[in-house]
Amino acid sequence: MKRFHLASLAVLILGFAGCSLPAAPGNRHAILIGITNYKEVRSLVYPVNDLADMKALLAKSGWTVDLVLSDAKATKAGIRNGISGMAGNLDADSSVVVYYSGHGDSEDGTGYIIPYDTRISGSDPVVSTMISTTELKSWISALPARNKLLILDSCYSGTFVDQVTTIDSAPPNYGPKDGGVDAGMLATALTNGARLLSMALSDAGDPAILTISAAGSEELSYDDNDNKNGAFSYYLIQAGSDAAADADGNGLVTALEAYAYAKTMLIARWNSLNYNQLSGSYDLVTGLPLYQDFLPRVSGGSGDFVLYDKRF
Amino acid sequence: MSVHRRLSVFGFVALAMASQLAWSLEMAVAVSGKGGATIEGNRPLLARGEGSVDTSFSLETGHWIFPEFSLSLFAATPSSLDPSLYLYRGYQGLSLSVLTGPRFFPSPALSIDTLFGIGLATTVDSGTTLVGLTPLLRAEARLSAAIYREFWLRIGLPLEALRQGATLSGYAGLSVALVYRLGVPKGVAK
């Protein structure tokens, strides 16, 4: 009898731990920003498609898309007001996604996204008219939500990614000569051992915002003429429908699962030499491919949360 | 008697005693499965699992094991979900630990060990290129039984705790090992 009770208890514990999924929470909100046509900056082609596809996917996954800001609506003030305006819909248990597809820049190691009304002086964007890492993160951090996810499909977007207790073993400008994404992981951990151990023993918590970037801090990201989306966004969106992205097969695709799928697909397709030769062209002076390798990045910390919920 | 002379005498006596003691040298390969939980800051405590393959080398003298070096390949699953669909990410890694502890009731057929120790683990978050280095605490109670000549079967109850900044993880589980033990006395002296 006692044995039966113990067995029942074990089954119950295992059931709770492994099989039961929480009910889908209703308080999940998204703001989508995409800029195809700029006021002064060179226009892009596919952010408009990224917005439409991401909006449809998030809506299908149980997110309420509060606001879509495109082109002339996506000014610096418009983006700031749009993000802060979400606060009224949120509470301490909410989840928030901020998605951006458009140009990005890096000046002296500081990252920026480029809103519609960024001004150009000479050939460079005026820094004060762009949105810096600090500005964007402070706007999002002010939102009263439990889970915050920032997705950036823009050049140099790795500048927005925090590392905390981990270090990215992939170089800021990843290329075919770097030996694959798995190369150098152990060496990175050991050569940065003192710093990593000191961080592990500190009280450093997770970043307030889980950030996924299309590219490293010194990398460009691209519009993809074959897939008619941002090269990164295409695969991030595909993660919502391709069963391969759901690594544990539980019908829920977390932000990290979607990131990992997009990274794998970009490596297999975009970063493959043949694909570059077919899709890219080469600079007539330097001979370098105009379409270069890049690698999506994700912030450090221990957390993750469900991005695509297929139960809807 | 000077301090140096006293120390020399003590060392000689200790050496003489040690030479009379039983000893053993062990090599083991183990697999283990653990259940555990992780917590970070204000986040909830969430359940998760961990599996590992471990190889260890240990020396036992005078019913005390020291040192045991253990090299483990491990993988932790992502955690369960909280009501907001938040979870802790999975990770894999390699750890090196050094353990020590007493051996109880040693006999040619059976022994019980309790070990505790510290280690370092290199980790990579699943699906990412993010690497970390984290300290860990380990403890294990083990029952070993001789099965064939120098081969022993060992069942263990491992405990493990890791810290990565404000994130703390703890695991408990079951391990099974095949042990090759050298130096066990062949019989009891009359």
Question: A151 to chain B, minimum CA–CA distance in Å?
Answer: 16
pLDDT at position A28: 96
Cα nearest neighbour of A145 on chain B: B84
pLDDT at position B113: 96
Euclidean distance between CA atoms B127 and A295, whole angstroms: 12
Instruction: For chain B, report the end-to-end CA distance as a whole number of angstroms.
Output: 38
Of chain A residues 64-103, which have a CB less than 8 A from chain B?
Answer: 93-95
Per-residue pLDDT reduced to its tens digit, B128-154: 999 999 999 999 999 999 999 899 999
Per-residue pLDDT reduced to its tens digit, A21-56: 888 787 999 999 999 999 999 999 999 999 999 999
pLDDT at position A209: 97
The residue type of B20 is Q
Beta carbons of A300 and B130 less than 8 Å apart: yes
Nearest to B85 among A170, A185, A306 (CB): A306
Report the relative pairing of strands A28-34 and B151-164 from DSSP bridges. Answer: unpaired
Of chain A residues 24-43, which have a CB less than 8 A from chain B?
Answer: 24-25
Per-residue pLDDT reduced to its tens digit, B30-89: 999 999 999 998 899 999 999 999 999 999 988 899 999 999 999 999 999 999 999 999
The helix/strand/coil state of A192 is coil
Name the average pLDDT for chain A.
Answer: 89
Euclidean distance between CA atoms B182 and B145, whole angstroms: 14
A276 pLDDT higher than 60: no
Interface test with A, best of B45, B122, B164 (most A CBs within 10 A): B164
Question: B163 to chain A, minimum CA–CA distance in Å?
Answer: 6
The residue type of B63 is H
Return the number of CB contacts < 8 Å for A and B.
162
Per-residue pLDDT reduced to its tens digit, A216-262: 999 999 999 889 999 999 999 999 999 999 988 999 999 999 999 99
Map out the domains of chain B with their CATH numbers: 22-182 (2.40.160.20)
Binning pLDDT at 50, 70 and 90, where does residue A183 land?
A: confident
A205 touches B: beta carbon within 8 Å: yes
pLDDT at position A264: 95
- C-beta separation of A169 from A230 below 8 A: no
Nearest to A205 among B84, B86, B166 (CB): B166
Q: Indicate the CATH number of A10-309 among 3.10.20.340, 3.40.190.10, 2.40.170.20, 3.40.50.1460.
A: 3.40.50.1460
**Residue-range domain boundaries for chain A:** 10-309
Rounded to two decimals, what is the model's pTM?
0.88
SS (H, E, C) B153-168: EEEEEEEEEEEECCEE
Using alpha carbons, select from B101, B29, B98, B22 the residue that is nearest to residue B65. Answer: B101
DSSP state of A287: -
pLDDT at position A16: 45
Identify all chain B residues contacting A188, using CB atoms and an 8 Å cutoff.
131
A171 pLDDT higher than 80: yes
A107 pLDDT higher than 90: yes
Euclidean distance between CA atoms A148 and A96, whole angstroms: 5
Identify all chain B residues contacting A302, using CB atoms and an 8 Å cutoff.
38, 40, 88-89, 164, 167
A248 touches B: beta carbon within 8 Å: yes
ipTM: 0.89
Nearest to A196 among B41, B87, B132 (CB): B132
A309 touches B: beta carbon within 8 Å: yes
Cα nearest neighbour of B119 on chain A: A197
Q: B125: which residues sit within 8 A by CB, 6+ positions away?
A: A166, A256, A298, A300, B89, B90, B91, B132
Sign of torsion over alpha carbons A263, A265, A270, A273: positive
Q: Element (H or E) spanning A293, and its range?
A: none
